[in-house]
Structure formats: structure tokens, C-alpha cells
């Protein structure tokens, strides 16, 4: 049996809800709407996340013959990398909450000639898979966007086989990630309200290493470990940074698209001033970045 409660398993199998289904549905629609940006910048996402993917695979150690689930796959880089490690005889299921995202991952896996990869639409808070279905669960930048990350952690534990491994990544403290934090600050200053708004999960929702470790431990995972990972990023120009960051920033991307042009331009100029300390002599930008890599076993 998985470590989740009977109520958790009933929720996952019967579709009973905790009263936040409308908000979940809105968030899913939002991710579908920003999928084109993720497709356009998929190679950049791969490059930016390469060190994190390497760390996740090192922690989870997929072996030939293993069955692997990638949650919140986006363009699918982590799952695709795992697919080469579990061959021969293993398989990878790359999943996301919307078909628009899994379509990107499926197309890229096909282009790479990977034959042991499939895709599926799955919600991290209600993984529609049997108990003990996977040897490994991977998730890069997904759990932090769950409305109920504790429920998501219990679901991850439930679908792992006895002895199965999980490795996941989230962004570290907001102040250690100015490449994104300064964009959120600029929007907040313009609208006079916090971004993300209260009750809406955002990229720094699990920035506290202690809280992240507690979520996994309380879900019933063993040998839980959380470590920091340096994830600097550099771009050739302000325009490149702004275009990529706002296209990939999920809820923020949707918010900016809905704003009047003059408000969007004011935010852009606030951001231009804010990132000046990170400018290079050739007109580019170099930012520090910090991620948290967590792992455990069932």
C-alpha cells in the first residue's frame, strides 16, 4: 500500500475534490495557453536545466528495465534523458497536466528517435496511475505549482514501487534568483499587489528547503535529502532575457498578455532598471540562480 491515507486514495480514484477544482481548471487552462512559448524556447529550457536534470538523474539513478514517470514534463528534457538510461527493457512516461504540453514532449522524443517513451496527461495532485506502478518518479519544476503540494507528495509516494526513488527540483529562495524575482517585483510594483496573488502557487512556493524536506518525509518517503544547486543563467541582451522569461513564466506570462500595452511597457522598463547590476560589458546579462534538488525512496 502507498503511504497516503485512504482518503487520499479515494480522492485519486473517485475524483472527489477539496473544493478548489475551479481554480485548478483555470490553472490548467493557463498552462495550455503558454505552451507555445515553451515549444518555441524548448532548446533554451534544456540548456538552462541541464545541470538540474543531471542532478535529478544522479539522485534517482534510473537503471535498465526501470519504469519511470516524469511529472510536469514541459518539453520533456528530463524524461528523454532518463529514456536512454533505462534501455533496454525500460520505459518512460512523460506527463503534464495539459495535452498542449505533452504534445511538445512527444514530438521532441519522436524527433530524437526514442522508442521507449510515451506521454500522458496527469495531474501531480491526482496521479491517475495504480499504486506502486513506477520504479522512479522525476519532476523538475512541477511540485511548486501544485495547489496542495503535500497531496502531490503523497501521490508521488503512492505510485512508487517499494524501494522506488523520487528526485525533484524546485527553485530556491526568490532573492537568490533575480533573473525571475525581479520580473515579479516589477509587476507587483506596477499593479500594487503581490505576484503571485495569495492562494496561487508560484515558482518560489517551495523555496524553503526545510519545508520541502518535511513535505516528502510526511508523505512517507525515506532517506529524504534536499540540497542547493547553483543554476546561473546568462543571455546576450535584455530583450532576449525579457522575451524568454516572460514567455516561460506560466501564470505571469498569462497576466502580462492580458495587460494593456502601456502597462506592459511600464513593467518592462521597471525591469530594465532593476537588472542593471547584472549587465555585462558587451550588453548581456549574467544572473545567479539557485535550485533545490530533493530526493527520497519509498
Phi, psi for residue 196 in degrees, rounded to 5 = -65, 160
3 state DSSP class of 70: strand
Q: What is the pLDDT of residue 13?
A: 44
Numbers of helices and strands, H then E, in the chain? 12, 9
Per-residue pLDDT of 16-45, as tens digits, reads 455 678 888 888 888 888 888 899 999 999
Tell me how far apart the alpha carbons of residues 87 and 90 are, in angstroms, rounded to a whole number. 5
Per-residue pLDDT of 233-243, as tens digits, reads 999 999 999 99
Percent of the chain with pLDDT over 70: 94
Question: Is the pLDDT confidence value at 141 over 90?
Answer: yes
- Residue 102: closest CA among 125, 126, 120, 82: 120
Tell me how far apart the alpha carbons of residues 87 and 98 are, in angstroms, rounded to a whole number. 27
pTM for this predicted structure: 0.91
Amino acid at each position: 500500500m502507498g503511504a497516503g491515507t485512504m482518503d487520499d486514495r479515494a480522492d485519486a480514484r473517485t475524483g472527489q475534490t477539496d473544493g478548489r477544482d475551479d481554480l485548478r481548471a483555470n490553472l490548467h487552462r493557463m498552462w495550455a495557453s503558454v505552451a507555445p512559448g515553451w515549444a518555441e524556447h524548448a532548446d533554451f529550457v534544456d540548456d538552462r536545466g541541464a545541470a538540474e536534470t543531471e542532478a535529478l538523474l544522479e539522485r534517482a539513478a534510473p537503471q535498465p528495465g526501470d519504469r519511470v514517470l516524469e511529472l510536469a514534463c514541459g518539453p520533456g528534457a528530463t524524461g528523454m534523458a532518463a529514456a536512454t538510461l533505462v534501455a533496454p527493457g525500460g520505459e518512460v512516461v512523460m506527463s503534464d497536466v495539459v495535452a498542449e504540453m505533452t504534445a511538445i514532449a512527444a514530438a521532441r522524443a519522436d524527433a530524437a528517435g526514442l522508442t521507449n517513451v510515451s506521454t500522458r496527461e496527469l495531474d501531480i495532485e491526482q496521479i491517475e496511475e495504480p499504486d506502486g506502478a513506477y520504479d522512479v518518479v522525476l519532476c523538475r519544476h512541477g511540485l511548486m505549482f501544485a495547489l496542495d503540494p503535500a497531496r502531490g507528495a503523497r501521490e508521488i509516494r503512492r505510485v512508487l514501487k517499494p524501494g522506488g526513488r523520487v528526485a525533484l527540483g524546485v527553485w530556491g529562495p526568490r532573492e537568490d534568483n533575480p533573473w525571475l524575482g525581479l520580473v515579479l517585483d516589477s509587476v507587483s510594483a506596477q499593479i500594487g499587489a503581490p505576484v503571485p496573488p495569495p492562494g496561487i502557487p508560484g515558482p518560489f512556493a517551495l523555496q524553503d528547503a526545510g519545508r520541502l524536506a518535511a513535505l516528502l518525509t510526511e508523505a512517507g518517503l525515506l532517506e529524504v535529502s534536499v540540497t542547493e544547486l547553483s543554476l546561473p543563467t546568462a543571455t546576450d541582451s535584455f530583450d532576449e532575457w525579457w522575451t524568454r522569461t516572460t514567455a516561460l513564466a506560466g501564470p505571469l506570462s498569462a497576466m502580462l498578455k492580458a495587460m494593456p500595452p502601456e502597462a506592459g511597457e511600464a513593467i518592462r522598463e521597471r525591469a530594465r532598471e532593476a537588472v542593471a547590476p547584472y549587465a555585462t560589458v558587451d550588453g548581456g546579462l549574467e544572473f545567479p540562480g539557485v535550485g533545490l534538488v530533493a530526493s527520497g525512496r519509498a
